[in-house]
Each structure stands twice: as C-alpha cells, then as structure tokens.
Chains A and B, each alone.
Chain A
Amino acid sequence: MADDTGAIVSYVGLGLFLPALVAFGLVLAVRRSPSGLTGTAIALAFLLSWIAERGTLEVPGSERWHLIAVAVLALGAFTPWLSVLEDRVPDVLAGAVAASIVGVALGKWVSFPGWTPYHAWAMGCAAGVVGLSTEWCALRRPGAAIPFSLAACIGTESVLLAMSGFLSLAVPAGAMALALGAASLVLGRPLHARDQRVTADSPVRTLAGGGALTAVATLTLLGFAGWSYNFSAIQPWMWLLPIAAPAVLLLTEVPGLAALSTRSPTARFAICMVPMTAICVVVLYLAWRAMNDGGGSGA
C-alpha cells in the first residue's frame, strides 16, 4: 500500500506539479522579459507533463489526439513573436493577424475522429475569435484577472477530461492550468488594471504578447478533443462552453460595466472573474451530476 501511495504521489508530482513548477520558474526568470514568454512557459508545462505522462512526445503521432501536443509546441514557439509585432503595428491588427494564423492552422491541420472539414474550421474560428478578443483584453488589462480566468477555464476542461477517463490529456491540461494560475500571482499588480497598455518597460506583466492566444488555442483544442473522444455522460455543450467563456472578458468593455470597473481593483477583478468562474462551476456541477446519474464506478 505504501508503495502504491508513493507511486501515485510520484505520478501526480511528475505529471502535474513538476511541469507547472518548471513553468512557474520560467515565468519568474523572464518576468522582466517580453511578456509573450508566459505563453511559452505554459506551453512548456503542458509538454513536460505530456512527456512525463506518456514517456515520449510523438511528432507527428500515431493517433489524431497526439496532434494536440504538436499544436501546443507550435503555439509555444510561434505566439511570443506577437509581442514583437505588437510593438510595430497597431495591437488589434497584430492580434488579428496572429489569431487568424492560429485559427487557420488549427482548422487546416488538426482534426479529430468523425469530423468533417466544417468541424475543423469551427474549431479554428473559435480559437481565432476567442483568442483575438482575449489577447486584446489582456493587452489592455495587465494583471492577474485574465490569467486567473483562463487558468480556471483550462482547469475546468482538465477536470472534465479526468471525469470522462481521458487522463492522458487531463494531466497535461491540469499542469498548464496550474502553471498559469501560479504565474498569475507574479504577472502583476494590481489585480486588474484597465487602459494601461503594456509596453516593454511596463512595471506589470501580462498574458498579452501571445500568451492569451496560446492559452485560448490550447483551451479550444482541449474542449473539442474532449467532445470528440467522449464516451461518458458529459454533454457536448459542457465541453464547448468553457471555450467560449473567455469571451465574457468583453463584458468589461460594456460602457456601464467599464465605468464600474474603474472604481476599485476588487470590483474590476470581480467583474472579470465572477461570470467566468460561474460558467466553470455550473459546467462542472452539471457534468458531475450527469456522470453520477449514470451510476457505477469509472475506476
């Protein structure tokens, strides 16, 4: 029994916490470097966890879901260049170009079993649109709120994957969520700032510069993969809603809420976090209920 406990602790430690810790260390190390490296750090957490879980990184992989690791590898390498681009062209244009590239790449090269091209392009569009809006918000609002929110969404997908029995993907997703959650702690003060555009010499760090795009694109892949490989009682909308949840960040652009959000850091943080957290909690609760209504043990 003691051997088993040790093995489980080492499995969780190696697969979940160690990759997250390495990524967190990287965020600390590059705190004063271009902010897009946060995206690379969370991609690294995912990939290290993937290798710990599977023993190898299959490129291109023998099964379709292995493409997720390849895509995260590409995202971690590609998206930090957005921070370079953002310094040279209007940020919305830079974000639109990067989000379009990511969306088209996912739509063209990633497809899961039973899919038509429409499914792939729907996934690409979701990653592009949600990624653009989140990246844009992250650029305008340095602070912990957006990384926390994205960590919650990725964490939700991780828990759903674990509930459905897809642990090989749940563990890397959990590592990325942990890394992003931990990184939020050092990504800046205040908790949520508005209309403070991040520049190279900003005193605060953010997920902008490709980090948000990496997180949202991975989130999209996790949700669509979970849906495609699902044989559990978890409903399709439960997989897909957390992908759209980051778009709630746009609420803070609504004039009334934007005015409210200027009053206090706590209010700004709450406006950002509460709706997204509520979506995640509701999805997890209903998924848990659906799984337990079916009866039996999945262990």
Chain B
Amino acid sequence: MPAPLRCRLLAVLPITLVATMSLLVGITALRAPAAGVTPATPVTPAEAVWKLDPIHSIALFRIQHLKSGMFWGRVNGLEGTVTYDQGGSTAPVLDVTASLDHMDTGSERLDGNLKGPNFFNAAEFPTLSFKSTGGERVSESQWRVTGDLTIRGKTQPVAVSLDVTGFGGIALESRAGFEATLTIKRSDFGMPWGIEKPTAVLSDDVRLIVSLEGIQQSGG
C-alpha cells in the first residue's frame, strides 16, 4: 500500500470510528427510555411539575342508559398540571381542566345533546375542572386524593382514587402517568334530567376514569 494512501486511511479511520460510536450512542439514547425506566437525562426529580399532554390525557365517563347498557363517552384534550413528589409523602396536586368542545361520544348528535342545557350547558359553562385539596397514600403507587370538582358551575368536594402509573419519556423530556377513578352523582352538579323526569333514561351515577400524562416542566 502506498504511503500517502496509508496516511489518508489512518486519518480517516479514527473519524469513522468516532462517528459510528456517536451514532450508536445516539440510537441507544433514543431507544433507552422505555416504560418504567427512568431516563438518564433529565433525572426524574424528587418533586416536579408535570404539564399535561392534551393528546395523551383524556377523561372517560360511563353512564347507564335506560337501565340497561353502560354507555361510554370521553372528553379529550385535558389540560393542566400535576405536581408530584415521587419519593416523598406529599400527595399529588392536581389542577385539571377539560373543555366540552372536546366531547366525543362517537355521535355528533349525542355530543350536541350532552353539550346542551339539559346536561352540561356548554354555552354557559364551557369547561369542567378539578383542583385537589389534599390526599393520603394508600399504597406505594396509589393515593386517595380529595379535591373540588366543578361541573356546570357547581363545585362539589370529591375523593379520587389515583394511581401513579409510571415514569418514562423520550429524548430530552420526562413523562409521568396517572390514572384517576371516581364515581359522582350528576344530580349534585345540576344535571337531574332523565333521572326521575322522565324516569331512568340515564342513571344518576356516572363513573369517571381519567388518564393523565404529564411532561416535566420544573422541579428536582
């Protein structure tokens, strides 16, 4: 091999090696933060504010129709924050808002009925909200959170069973997941239509399952 060519190869080889290693490190970093695995950067903080990702945060509601089937609907695009001290004894602090514009039952006509004055009256009360006021740990990943739920302008204290479902993320962001379940009586929020008059069109009890996914904003 001629000397100039050898010199050129010796010069190019380290560059190629460094580039290949960089690529491998990059690919590993992208793939590494699988569910349940704390990403290397940034470190999951002791306490952090997680801003809800509206695409991955939804509320499902379940109500009995005509004393027979259980009907499910959802409200997409939840917004707000969860403040959570992962290792500490402080209960997660939830501040969640849902816009009734994002009501989704799979039927536009039914969406319209639910937004109307017989139910949510979205023209006057376009949002629902929950603000936590306290809570206690039930198990390592489960909390009983108390707070104020506001629907149709009426605020009622409620207790929510909250699971911390996991921590993960991708690249430079960290994510945390929570799932809240509770059952409310819609008559407590000024929505009595169809419970007694006319009777049993829809049940009074409404079960809510709220899935929250937050992106870390601050803390640690």
Chain A: residues with CB nearer than 8 A to chain B? 3-4, 7-8, 11, 15, 53, 55, 62-65, 112-114, 164-169, 228-233, 291, 294-298
Contact B109 A166 (CB under 8 A): no
Cβ distance A197 to chain B, nearest Cβ, rounded Å: 42
Residues 91-123 of B contacting A (Cβ, < 8 Å): 106-118, 121-123
Chain A residue, CB-CB nearest to B65: A299
Contact A4 B199 (CB under 8 A): yes
> B108 contacts which of A4, A53, A294 (Cβ < 8 Å)?
A294
Contact B121 A297 (CB under 8 A): no
CA distance A231 to B113 in the complex (A): 7
CA distance A229 to B193 in the complex (A): 16
CA distance A169 to B121 in the complex (A): 13
Contact A296 B108 (CB under 8 A): yes
Chain A residue, CB-CB nearest to B67: A4
Main secondary structure on chain B at its contact with chain A?
A: loop
By a CB distance below 8 angstroms, the chain A residues around B110 are 296-298
B153 interfacial by beta-carbon distance below 8 Å: yes
By a CB distance below 8 angstroms, the chain A residues around B32 are none
Q: How large is the interface on B (under 10, 10 to 19, 20 to 34, 35 or more residues)?
A: 20 to 34
A-B contact pairs, 13 of them (CB 8 A): A4-B200, A7-B198, A53-B197, A63-B117, A65-B117, A165-B113, A229-B116, A229-B121, A229-B123, A231-B115, A231-B123, A232-B109, A298-B112
Contact B124 A63 (CB under 8 A): yes
By a CB distance below 8 angstroms, the chain A residues around B116 are 164-166, 229-232
> B118 contacts which of A113, A168, A232 (Cβ < 8 Å)?
A168
> A166 contacts which of B106, B117, B190, B197 (Cβ < 8 Å)?
B117
Cβ distance A130 to chain B, nearest Cβ, rounded Å: 24
Contact A291 B109 (CB under 8 A): yes
Q: A63-B124, A166-B116, A229-B123 are in contact. Are A296 and B200 (CB under 8 A)?
A: no
Cβ distance B160 to chain A, nearest Cβ, rounded Å: 26
By a CB distance below 8 angstroms, the chain B residues around A166 are 116-118
Beta-carbon contacts of B171-200 to A below 8 Å, as 1s and 0s?
000000000000000000010010001111
CA distance A296 to B197 in the complex (A): 24
Task: Name 15 extra pairs, CB < 8 A, besides A53-B197, A232-B113, A297-B110.
Answer: A3-B199, A4-B199, A7-B199, A8-B199, A11-B198, A15-B197, A164-B113, A167-B118, A168-B118, A229-B121, A231-B111, A231-B123, A294-B109, A296-B108, A297-B109
Q: A8-B198, A168-B193 are in contact. Are A295 and B123 (CB under 8 A)?
A: no
Chain B: residues with CB nearer than 8 A to chain A? 66-67, 106-118, 121-124, 153, 190, 193, 197-200
Q: A113-B124, A165-B112 are in contact. Are A11 and B193 (CB under 8 A)?
A: no
By a CB distance below 8 angstroms, the chain A residues around B109 are 232-233, 291, 294-298
Contact B108 A233 (CB under 8 A): yes
By a CB distance below 8 angstroms, the chain B residues around A295 are 107-109
Cβ distance A168 to chain B, nearest Cβ, rounded Å: 5
Chain A residue, CB-CB nearest to B112: A231
Contact A114 B118 (CB under 8 A): no
Cβ distance B100 to chain A, nearest Cβ, rounded Å: 9
Cβ distance A232 to chain B, nearest Cβ, rounded Å: 4
Chain B residue, CB-CB nearest to A112: B123
Contact A167 B193 (CB under 8 A): yes
CA distance A228 to B124 in the complex (A): 10
Cβ distance A164 to chain B, nearest Cβ, rounded Å: 6
By a CB distance below 8 angstroms, the chain A residues around B118 are 165-168
By a CB distance below 8 angstroms, the chain B residues around A55 are 197
By a CB distance below 8 angstroms, the chain B residues around A232 are 109, 112-113, 116
Chain A residue, CB-CB nearest to B115: A231
Contact A7 B107 (CB under 8 A): no
Contact A63 B198 (CB under 8 A): no
The 8 closest A-B pairs by CB, nearest first: A296-B107, A165-B113, A231-B112, A7-B199, A113-B123, A11-B198, A298-B109, A231-B115
CA distance A294 to B66 in the complex (A): 23
Contact A296 B198 (CB under 8 A): no
Instruction: Count chain A CB atoms within 10 A of each CB in B106, B115, B190, B198 and give the residue with the most.
Output: B198
By a CB distance below 8 angstroms, the chain A residues around B190 are 62
Contact B117 A169 (CB under 8 A): yes
Q: A11-B198, A62-B153, A297-B110 are in contact. Are A231 and B122 (CB under 8 A)?
A: yes
Contact B200 A7 (CB under 8 A): yes
By a CB distance below 8 angstroms, the chain A residues around B114 are 165
By a CB distance below 8 angstroms, the chain B residues around A294 are 108-109
By a CB distance below 8 angstroms, the chain A residues around B198 are 7-8, 11
Cβ distance A31 to chain B, nearest Cβ, rounded Å: 33
